[in-house]
Amino acid sequence: MSLVVADGFGDERVDGIRVIDVGRPKGRLERMLRTTRRVLEAARALDADVYQLHDPELIPVGVSLHRAGHRVVFDSHEDVPAQLLAKPYLNRVTRRLLSAAYAAYERSACRRFDGMLAATPTIRQHLATIHPFAVTVNNYPLLQEFSEPPDWSCKAQEVCYVGSISAIRGIRELVQACALLQSPARLTLAGRFSEPALEHEVRGFVGWERVVAHGHLDRQGVRGVMRRAVAGLVTLHPVANYVDALPVKMFEYMAAGLPVIASRFPLWQEIIEGNDCGLCVDPENAGAIAAAIDHLCARPDVARRMGENGRRAVFARYNWQGEAARLGAFYDDLLDGPVKGRQRPANATV
């Protein structure tokens, strides 16, 4: 098995997997043009049995490989047409035009592939309108990364947010909530800001004095942040691409034994309130976020009970073990023969 990447760290072998690095691009334009070509050249050199693509910008690579007679699978982590409609830096007309153009191209290109993988059931529903062989493989945590149970004697008056930091992921409201806290809690951030101007803006908020911003951390650093926190935050805004998403960080908080403070989306409420493992709030209401943080910081027994509930739920259901079996079944079926013209198999029903 081989993995083609563009991270600039060079070629290596990890857990028996050959990693081929085509070089980190200097900007978005180079990534979309030159890096895509380098990925195609590296992929052709491998002459693999199946090629699985993870990024929308690599769809042209998949088309080229398919034309050369190779099997190609597109693994979609997001509903890109819906995501484009929520881009804050584009005006409404541009968003609609780009969304429609991408949807048309996606439909034309991906219907030629041999199968489609989706990170959520909602994305699978979208992909199923394009291809008859579309299967959900949820991006749930690896249990071995969370084998060590949480030690609540090490907890501090901290809550954490882990991941990419942007406006639609709720950073303004999180920092504003810090100014409204009644408890001595602090907010720890582990991730990069998507826009320098946004970082400059929120650093000027009154609540920033309660924020500890680590920037990007490796997996060990993230575990250290979650080890000290009493709750994990995932208060994304109610845009189309988030309402039905299943963010892996939410499940990683649960696996680490942290109660979750999350956006009040119906799907998330079903998971969090259904398992009594956190609190759901209006993500655009800084006061509601502050109240949830204060509630858990003032009641460590409640926070610990909710954390334990979430951890049990992940170890019982929301973990990679079951998804790996589903992915294996997908490839078993794919390699049995050509997909075109046959019905979607039973294992694709979710």
- For the domain that residue 122 is a member of, what is the CATH number? 3.40.50.2000
Whole-number mean pLDDT of the chain? 90
- Domain check: are 304 and 342 in the same one? no
Which residue would you say has higher pLDDT here, 125 or 303? Answer: 303
The pLDDT of residue 348 is: 33
Banded model confidence at residue 346, pLDDT cuts 50, 70, 90: very low
Domain assignment present for 271: yes
Look at residue 271 in the predicted model and tell me its pLDDT.
97
Mean predicted confidence (pLDDT) in 220-227? 95
Is residue 81 scored above 90 in pLDDT? no
pLDDT score for 91: 82
Q: What is the pLDDT of residues 14-23, one digit of tens each?
A: 888 899 998 8
Q: Tell me what pLDDT residue 249 has.
A: 95
CA-CA distance, 32 to 270, in Å (whole number)?
38
Residue 24 in any domain: the answer is no
Q: Are residues 175 and 81 in the same domain?
A: no
Q: 162 and 132 share a domain? A: no
Query: What is the tally of structural domains in the chain?
Result: 2
pLDDT at 63 over 70: yes
Which H or E element spans position 285? none
In this structure, the strands spanning 278-281 and 260-263 are: parallel
Q: What is the pLDDT of residue 342?
A: 34
The answer to whether residue 36 sits within a structural domain is no
Lowest mean pLDDT among 23-27, 84-88, 134-138, 235-239: 84-88
Shared domain for 184 and 243, answered yes or no, is: yes
**Share of residues in the chain with pLDDT > 70 (%):** 95
* DSSP structure class, residue 341: T
* Domain assignment present for 296: yes
- What residues make up the domain containing 341? 49-140+320-348
Using pLDDT thresholds of 50, 70 and 90, give the confidence band for residue 337. low
CB atoms under 10 Å from CB of 283, counted, come to 25
pLDDT for residue 338: 54
pLDDT at 349 over 60: no
| Residue bearing the bigger pLDDT, 291 or 243 | 291
Is there a single domain that holds both residue 331 and residue 283?
A: no
Q: To the nearest whole percent, how much of the chain has pLDDT over 90?
A: 71
Indicate whether 149 and 237 sit together in one domain.
Answer: yes
Assess whether pLDDT exceeds 70 at residue 263: yes
300-316 vs 286-298: helix axis angle to the nearest 10?
A: 100
**pLDDT above 80 for 240:** no
Residue 300 and residue 325 in one domain: no
Q: How far apart are CA 30 and CA 58, in angstroms?
A: 13
Indicate if the pLDDT at residue 343 is higher than 80. no
Q: Which residues contact 233 (CB under 8 A, 6 or more apart)?
A: 159, 160, 161, 170, 174, 187, 260, 261, 262, 289
Cα 262 versus chain centre, distance: 15
- Give me the residues paired with residue 18 across strands: 2, 13
- The whole-number pLDDT of residue 134 equals 93
Does the pTM surpass 0.75? The reply is yes
